[in-house]
Structures are given as structure tokens and as C-alpha cells.
Amino acid sequence: MSTHYDAIILGAGPAGFTAGIYLARSKRRVLIIDQSTAGGQPIFTHKIANYPGLPEVHGYELAFALKKQAQDFGCDLETNVEITSMELTGPVKRVELDGEDVYEAPSLIVATGGMPRSLGIGSEEDFKARGISYCATCDGDFYTDKDIVVVGGGNTALEEAVSLTRYARSVTILHVLNEFQAFPQAVEEARANPKIRFIMEAEVTAFEGDERLGRVRYLDHASGEEVVLETDGVFIFIGYVPNTAPFASTLDLSPRGEILADEDMATNVAGVYVAGDVRQKRYRQLTTAVADGTIAALATIEYLDRQAANRTSNQSQSQAPIDSQDHAPTLT
């Protein structure tokens, strides 16, 4: 037995909650599903200082406020569940949870987000939001006049290292290879900045500290020695992983695995929309996520209205009286 909704939203982060708020306010029945804890990326951010209207807010506080607002407007929420199957291509979208409960809706919004690629070091988890960050725009000003480390060697790593010099006293770039993968212009700009120094062929092996991160341990491949570097914080920029694996056979993806969509957030499948960090775009911020959620919700509302209008039109045509003159019997 299945439960029917007007819209199903996959992902309980800023984009998903925003879409849910707009849909629920338009009197649509909405279910928001997340396979982990509700809140998305904000719950990994200690403080947020660049969200309009909120000069400084803890990430968990913003996540809780979004959740409460969506539920107050009537959104149903299922979190910490396993999506065991999905059917997106038909007129009715179906999502099965934990191999038992089935939910159906004529529309679906994918807002599953993504995660900054981690180094995979056990101690990395211990210091997330306590000295380890993945967003210079979000957390840079918390390190004003501090000595920080940037891990990575691509365009993002070097560009963000330069931006962090607006706040930090010094920035040390640790890169595991002996050359950068960034464009020459990004490399030149970073090398020209007097606040930035470079340690190449450095493989991070551990993060250490007490309540907060205080040290980075890395292997110097050139010398074979292990080195301990004192630091006030670390920013890791080694890539981004969108949560799109379940959609690879259904939705069109970019070479980097991001969902492709038009300006209305519509995917290649009718009735399926996308919002937030999971879609292909250049900038990933809280404000861009909620903007995506707004657009996806409004486009979904229009889609549902068109479907309802088509059904009404088809019913009217099927119930129209037969014109007796057009269908009069032939007299012989």
C-alpha cells in the first residue's frame, strides 16, 4: 500500500526545506526524505556570518529553523531512512523506504546535495567545525589574524587560499604532488601573494588537538620525514562529490556527476526537478541553494497546475454530449 503526495523532495537541507516551504504554502501535500539527519551542510558549519539578515548564526540553529518552518507549514519529514528503490520516469514517481513504505507523487525534487571530498583520515571527522572547514566564504573571517593551512592543489584550493589572505595572518598550502593542477593564472596569483607559502609533496597523515584543531601532521615525500605543523585551522579543497549515484541511469549528469537542469531546475525527466549543490553550477552557497529550492518549487507548482488542467480538459472532452446532427443515421 502506498501513500500519495503532491510532491516528494529528496534531501532535507536548505534547498529541500526551501522547496518544501514554498510547496506547502501553496497547499500542496509534501514529503521531504533524507537518508541522514535533517539539516544538510549547515550542521557541519560552526558559525555562518554571510547569510542575509542573520549577521551570525550557528549552523545547527539555521538547520533547525528551516526544519521547523517546513514542518509548521505542513511538510511531512522522513529522516535516517534508506531509499531502497525509486521509479522516476513515469507520470507517478515512486520512492520506497526501508523496503517497506512506498510513497507516490506526480512530481519530485532532487535536493540530495553533496559533500566536499574528504581526505579520508580518521581524525578529520573529529575536528570538523572545530578547526577544519571546507568553505572559505563561510568561515574565513573566523580566522582573522590566524595562521591557517589550505590542503589541495587545484583551482579552488589556490583561489580560496588567496581569498583567505584577506583574513588570515598567513596561509600555508600543503599539496601532495610536486606541481599544481590549477590554471597558470591561479598559480601565479597565489605565488605573488606574500602571505602564502607552499609545501609540496606533503601528504597529510593526521590532525591533532584538544578541544579544537591545533596541529597538522604530514609526510614529506621529498625527505621521507614526518613533520608536525602548528596551525589555527585547516581548509580542505580537494574536490566535491555530488550525491547523484542513485540517479545515474535516469537523469542526465555532467562529467563530474552533477545533475543537468534548465533555468527552471527541470531535468530531462518530466516532473523531476533539481535544487542545490547536487546540480551543475559554478557557485555553491547557502543563498544559491535556497534560491534553487525556490525556483524548483515554483516550477513544480506550475507543472502540477498544468497536469491538473490537462486532466480537467480530458474529462470534459470525454463527457461532452454527442452532436445528434453530426452523428445522425443515414436514411435510405
Average pLDDT over residues 116-133: 91
E strands of 26-74, at which residues?
A: 30-34, 47-48, 57-58
pLDDT band per the 50, 70, 90 thresholds, residue 330: very low
Q: Phi/psi at 74 (nearest 5 deg)?
A: 115, 5
pLDDT band per the 50, 70, 90 thresholds, residue 313: confident
pLDDT of residue 322: 53
pLDDT of residue 46: 65
Q: Are residues 173 and 197 in contact, defined by beta-carbon separation less than 8 angstroms?
A: yes
Choose the catalytic residue: 34, 135, 232, 292: 135
Q: What is the pLDDT of residues 227-249, one digit of tens each?
A: 999 999 999 999 888 999 999 99
Q: Are residues 18 and 2 in contact, defined by beta-carbon separation less than 8 angstroms?
A: no
Helix (H), strand (E) at residue 303: helix 286-319
Based on the residue annotation, tell me whether 139 is a catalytic residue of this protein.
yes
Based on the residue annotation, tell me whether 138 is a catalytic residue of this protein.
yes
d(CA 17, CA 32): 8
Q: What is the pLDDT of residues 72-121, one digit of tens each?
A: 999 999 999 999 999 999 999 999 999 889 999 999 999 999 888 899 99
**Would you say residue 47 has pLDDT above 80?**
no
pLDDT of residue 229: 97
Choose the catalytic residue: 34, 139, 232, 292: 139
Give the three-state DSSP class for 135. coil
CA separation, residue 115 to residues 147, 260, 317 (Å): 25, 18, 50
Nearest to 34 by CA among 80, 92, 86, 94: 80
Q: Are residues 165 and 192 in contact, defined by beta-carbon separation less than 8 angstroms?
A: no
pLDDT of residue 329: 41
Percent pLDDT > 90 in the chain is 77
Q: What is the pLDDT of residues 184-198, one digit of tens each?
A: 999 999 999 999 999
pLDDT of residue 43: 77
Tell me the Ramachandran region of residue 129: left when phi exceeds 0, alpha when psi lies from -120 to 50, beta otherwise: left
Q: Are residues 292 and 279 in contact, defined by beta-carbon separation less than 8 angstroms?
A: yes
Average pLDDT over residues 122-131: 92
Q: Are residues 142 and 134 in contact, defined by beta-carbon separation less than 8 angstroms?
A: no
**Residue ranges of the chain assigned to CATH 3.50.50.60:** 2-116+240-316, 122-236
Based on the residue annotation, tell me whether 75 is a catalytic residue of this protein.
no
pLDDT band per the 50, 70, 90 thresholds, residue 61: very high
Q: What's the first-to-final CA gap in the chain, in angstroms?
A: 57
pLDDT band per the 50, 70, 90 thresholds, residue 11: very high
For the chain, give the mean pLDDT: 92
Q: Would you tell me how many other CB atoms lie within 10 Å of the CB of residue 199? A: 15
Question: Which amino acid does the sequence have at 260?
Answer: L
**Would you say residue 324 has pLDDT above 60?**
no
Percent pLDDT > 70 in the chain is 94
Average pLDDT over residues 254-278: 97
**Would you say residue 326 has pLDDT above 50?**
no
CATH topology for 122-236?
A: FAD/NAD(P)-binding domain (3.50.50)
DSSP 49: -
Choose the catalytic residue: 6, 138, 277, 292: 138
Sequence-distant (≥ 6) Cβ neighbours of residue 176 within 8 angstroms:
153, 201, 202, 203, 204, 221
Average pLDDT over residues 162-182: 96
d(CA 141, CA 138): 8
CATH topology for 2-116+240-316?
A: FAD/NAD(P)-binding domain (3.50.50)
pLDDT of residue 328: 41
CA dihedral 193, 151, 284, 183 (to 10 degrees): 50
User: In the beta sheet, which residues pair with residue 9?
Assistant: 32, 109
Residues across the chain: 332
d(CA 331, CA 168): 96
pLDDT of residue 293: 98
